[in-house]
Structure 1
Amino acid sequence: MPLEADVLAAFPAEVQIPARLVADSVAASSEASPRVLVVLDDDPTGTQSVANLPVLTRWEVPDFAWAFALEADGQHPRAVYVLTNTRSLDPAEAAARNEEIVRNALAAASAAGTAEGGLRLSFVSRSDSTLRGHFPLEPDVIAATVTAVNGEATDGVVIVPAFPDAGRVTIGGVHFTRGTGENAGKLTPVADTEFARDASFGFANSEMAKYVEEKSQGRFPADSVIVLDLNIIRASADPQISAKAIADAIDAATNSTPIVADIVTENDLRALSLGLEEAERRGKKLLYRVGPPFVRARIGQEIRSELTGEEAYAGNTPSEAGGLIVVGSHVGVTTRQLNALTEQHSAARIVEIDVEKLLGDNAAGYLDETVDAVVAALRGGDVIVHTSRLLIKTDDAAASLKIARTVSAAVVAVVNRTLKTFPPRFVIAKGGITSSDVAAHGLEIRHAIVRGPMLPGIVSLWEPVDGPAKGIPYIVFAGNVGDDQSLADVTRKLSNTF
């Protein structure tokens, strides 16, 4: 494993760029024709880097109209998140959902009623910082749908998986995960991690240009990918000069050319954002395939400090019931976090959902027993509901997804029936697909506001604004972020028994 300091030694030093500089640039370009980023988030964890933005779990035209009309600090939202949950779908379903969302967003924007004839939309395909997901399918579908609706062709697809808050960085065109503990300061190429062995979205390359070639099955050869390395991102101490360098490097992009960006810090993201703003001012039409923090930097939003327990309940009276912690993810860090929580939170009742019984003949009866156990336990305090840690999977990607859906449907049923019987004080959902399904179906959230992170840069709190979960803090906790104590730390903030 190389040392991060050694890898960075070949590149210029970081340049400090205030978020306000990006925000002012975005405001200037939006003055004549208001622009909104529509973020198609393939699971809900992409909201962990932003604050005070609307999120939708449904995407009819009226849903977009609600989101576009919201006002915060005297302006309409610079970005709207749409929870697509496409990482849990097969390719055909994912494509259809992306197309439907883009068409409805464009329809709502054209009807938004501004003097200029509607809002100007840019589309963001938000996916995993460890490269799992439907790529290049999702950007392809978004680009094709935009062309079909308004005739606008996409020049480039900007690929920015980096998530520095969670230890994912791209240097010299190679995507890495940062080590922790005794491996702090060391970098592991992402293809050498457990994430690259994902049953549905595995991959072999950490070098982003080669990853693009691999995933596009050669449609985009590695040497056709534009790489914005740190020599370009940090071209000058003057951010405007760097912005021009980035825009110049993108100038050759046409017909959805892949564009990969090095990112190590938030300042790099802001420098990139200024360059993308300049490129778009020059007329380039871009789509974005990105990790969580990109949107924050792209709209010039400051990094929101972590929410306190008091802020999590602001404006609502917390229930005296216990909280519900739902754990579905099976990655190693989640299992370690679950172990730490159960060891430290001795007052919590643990209810395990046995996956083998869910796949058995008496699944319905077993589900009834599980719901009864959860409701009874909530009356006395917090309840940790987790699926059995034995991961049942097959060598067939479609079959693996089917098993995952069966398990997720059971988790959703437990949450929904519990909510309608004895509403919990708070809900934490751990894992991407888990948190998506719990939000949209378990808690029946249609519209929510992302209030901010529960831990620095990671783990977002949603405030449901409608449905049976209105007023109950909902914590979206990705499976692959945080250290071993993170789940316990978040629970401690919200619980009245921990």
Structure 2
Amino acid sequence: MSSTVDARLPPVRRVPAARVRQALSGARQVAVLDDDPTGTQTVRELPVLTRWTVDDIRWALRQGKAGFFVLTNTRSLAPDAAAARDREVAEACLTAAEQEGVRLAFASRSDSTLRGHFPLETDVLTDVMAQHGQAVDGVLLAPAYVDAGRVTIGGVHWLRTAEGLTPAADSEFARDATFGYRSSRLAEWVEEKSGGRIARGDVTELTLEVIRTGTDEKVPASLTDVRDGRVVVLDADEDDDLRATVLGILAAEGSGKSFLYRVGPSFVRARVGQDAQPPIDDETLAGLVGPGHGLLVVGSHVGLTTRQLDHLGRQRRFTTVELDVPTLLDDTRAEDHLRAAVATATAALAENLVVLSTSRALVTGDDEAHSLEIARRVSAALTRAAGEIVAARRPSYVVGKGGITSSDVATGSLGIDRAWIRGSLLPGIVSLWEPASGPAEGLPYVVFAGNVGGEASLTEVIERLERA
């Protein structure tokens, strides 16, 4: 399938990131509402917030960057709670923007494997923007994550693997207990996830044939007639495709159009005018990481994470402290189990890397709501344990493995409220934050999604951090 799809694509139209940066003059700053922290892994030197007071957002706006991230962690919430949080964040962002005299665009950043609250989150943001006099003409859907091989071609979302292109709906991610789906064609996926409210025939597809051929005017011309919140699927197989599309979006917005972005990590990089950058070099990393050993906190249950942990175990010695999920869900035994785990990990940090994880057997509920509740309880226990370990013996760095896990560790375990994204530890994946305030100020925090990299990627990251 891969060769068949690739063979019929028009040649790539090269668009340097510098052209996007030039076009950003006078453009709206983009507030990226990230439903877990892993959307930061494609960018660098941008502010990231885990709180959304008006003062926090005004701080981010004053940094003078093309955009900033607000970590909402809504993927871990039930739908009603996710909607309420999105509304609260958006209201605070618009209030802060009004006070700073800044115009804002919103990006709802979610999973490149299509897991998350859609169309719920874009519906909420559309409503808030309309209440502030910013009617949304179109919802631009661009889940591509080029660095990790998640691409959209011909309106179909694919995962690029060693065997070729696999339709997203055929992957393990489509069988997610909470956010599973059946459709790989995004127009059909929109219809499926909206329960038929948005018909596939009402979804526009902006294909590579349009993006890669013709002039710079072709993309904005394709967006001219988009109105009334219409969903537009954006093809993207390379970063140049996204930069070409962003140039068209900025031109259309400059002519008065208003768009809301529902996107994966790669679109954000294109929208803020950044190019793919090499990972943080060893010298810089050594200046960030302190002496001693690190703490790796693992909550992700995808198969790739398990294989990465197995690989790490074959390559180096570490102390494993496992929280048994059935025990955590037993109110009579959970407290003693947690105390013992914290004591073991704290003592081990003096001599070794510590891996704090939940047991690998996935426990799910009877339905979506029950599965989410189990996930929240387990995550709360993992977050508490990590926080108590860090308070008792500060590690040289902390790694959060898994989207929801890394969010909960950032906010609950480390108390991060404002931070800077310093870059990646692997090409285009695995973000390193430097907390700018709070109890973890200066402690390197690494955000490592559960579903990215190869089997050796976790080992490579840990080896770099331990050497530093």
TM-based fold match above 0.5: yes
Give the distance between the partners of 2:283 and 2:404, measured in 1 at CA. Answer: 28
| Distance apart, 1:444 and its partner CA | 0.4
Determine if contact 1:199/1:395 at 8 Å carries over to the other structure: no
1:477-492 counterparts in 2 under 5 A? 477-492=448-463
Amino acid at match of 1:401: L
Determine if contact 2:41/2:429 at 8 Å carries over to the other structure: yes
Which residue matches 1:15?
A: 13
Give the distance between the partners of 1:302 and 1:156, measured in 2 at CA. Answer: 26
Give the distance between the partners of 2:274 and 2:292, measured in 1 at CA. Answer: 35
Q: Match for 1:92 among 80, 84, 87?
A: 80
Determine if contact 1:56/1:448 at 8 Å carries over to the other structure: yes
| Distance apart, 1:298 and its partner CA | 1.1
Deviations 1:367-399 (A, max 9, x none): 100000010000112111111100000231111
1:103 aligns with 2:86: no
Give the distance between the partners of 1:12 and 1:355, measured in 2 at CA. Answer: 50
Amino acid at match of 2:104: L
1:154 aligns with 2:136: yes
Determine if contact 1:430/1:479 at 8 Å carries over to the other structure: yes
Deviations 1:316-346 (A, max 9, x none): 5x43331001111000111000111111112
Determine if contact 1:446/1:467 at 8 Å carries over to the other structure: yes
Q: Match for 1:164 among 131, 143, 146?
A: 146
Amino acid at match of 2:34: D
Give the distance between the partners of 2:355 and 2:281, measured in 1 at CA. Answer: 21
| Distance apart, 1:453 and its partner CA | 0.7
| Distance apart, 1:36 and its partner CA | 1.1
Give the distance between the partners of 1:435 and 1:52, measured in 2 at CA. Answer: 19
Which residue matches 1:248?
A: 221
1:78-477 counterparts in 2 under 5 A? 78-112=66-100, 118-148=101-131, 150-180=132-162, 183=163, 186-236=164-214, 241=215, 243-314=216-287, 316=288, 318-346=289-317, 348-360=318-330, 361-477=332-448
Determine if contact 2:31/2:68 at 8 Å carries over to the other structure: yes
Give the distance between the partners of 1:282 and 1:219, measured in 2 at CA. Answer: 30
Give the distance between the partners of 1:319 and 1:26, measured in 2 at CA. Answer: 37
Amino acid at match of 1:351: V
Determine if contact 2:365/2:374 at 8 Å carries over to the other structure: no
Which residue matches 1:53?
A: 46
Give the secondary-structure state (helix, strand or coil) at the position aligned to 2:24: helix
1:21-60 counterparts in 2 under 5 A? 21-27=19-25, 29-30=26-27, 35-60=28-53
Give the distance between the partners of 2:386 and 2:9, measured in 1 at CA. Answer: 49
Amino acid at match of 1:89: L
Question: What fraction of aligned residue pairs are identical, expressed as a percent?
Answer: 49
Amino acid at match of 1:103: E
Determine if contact 1:124/1:288 at 8 Å carries over to the other structure: yes
Determine if contact 1:327/1:384 at 8 Å carries over to the other structure: yes
- Select between 430-439 and 216-225 the one with higher mean Cα deviation: 216-225
Give the secondary-structure state (helix, strand or coil) at the position aligned to 1:188: strand
Which residue matches 1:68?
A: 61
| Distance apart, 1:309 and its partner CA | 3.6
Amino acid at match of 1:120: R
TM-score, normalised on structure 1?
Answer: 0.92
Q: Which runs of 5+ in 2 are unaligned?
A: none
Which residue matches 1:115?
A: none
Give the distance between the partners of 1:251 and 1:161, measured in 2 at CA. Answer: 22
Determine if contact 2:13/2:213 at 8 Å carries over to the other structure: no
Give the distance between the partners of 2:142 and 2:112, measured in 1 at CA. Answer: 8
| Distance apart, 1:152 and its partner CA | 1.7
Deviations 1:267-287 (A, max 9, x none): 111111111111112211100
Give the distance between the partners of 1:101 and 1:310, measured in 2 at CA. Answer: 37
Amino acid at match of 2:57: F
Amino acid at match of 1:264: D
Give the distance between the partners of 2:275 and 2:144, measured in 1 at CA. Answer: 18
| Distance apart, 1:313 and its partner CA | 4.1
Amino acid at match of 1:481: V
Give the distance between the partners of 1:9 and 1:496, measured in 2 at CA. Answer: 43
Deviations 1:90-126 (A, max 9, x none): 11000000000011011111111xxxxx000000000
Give the distance between the partners of 1:97 and 1:320, measured in 2 at CA. Answer: 38
Give the secondary-structure state (helix, strand or coil) at the position aligned to 2:221: helix
Determine if contact 2:207/2:234 at 8 Å carries over to the other structure: yes
| Distance apart, 1:496 and its partner CA | 4.2
Give the distance between the partners of 1:44 and 1:11, measured in 2 at CA. Answer: 33
Determine if contact 1:308/1:493 at 8 Å carries over to the other structure: no
Give the secondary-structure state (helix, strand or coil) at the position aligned to 1:495: helix
Give the distance between the partners of 2:465 and 2:281, measured in 1 at CA. Answer: 9
Give the distance between the partners of 1:304 and 1:274, measured in 2 at CA. Answer: 20
Give the distance between the partners of 2:319 and 2:134, measured in 1 at CA. Answer: 55
How many residue pairs match? The answer is 467
Determine if contact 1:49/1:292 at 8 Å carries over to the other structure: yes
Which residue matches 1:73?
A: none
Give the distance between the partners of 1:321 and 1:412, measured in 2 at CA. Answer: 22
TM-score, normalised on structure 2?
Answer: 0.98
Amino acid at match of 1:343: R
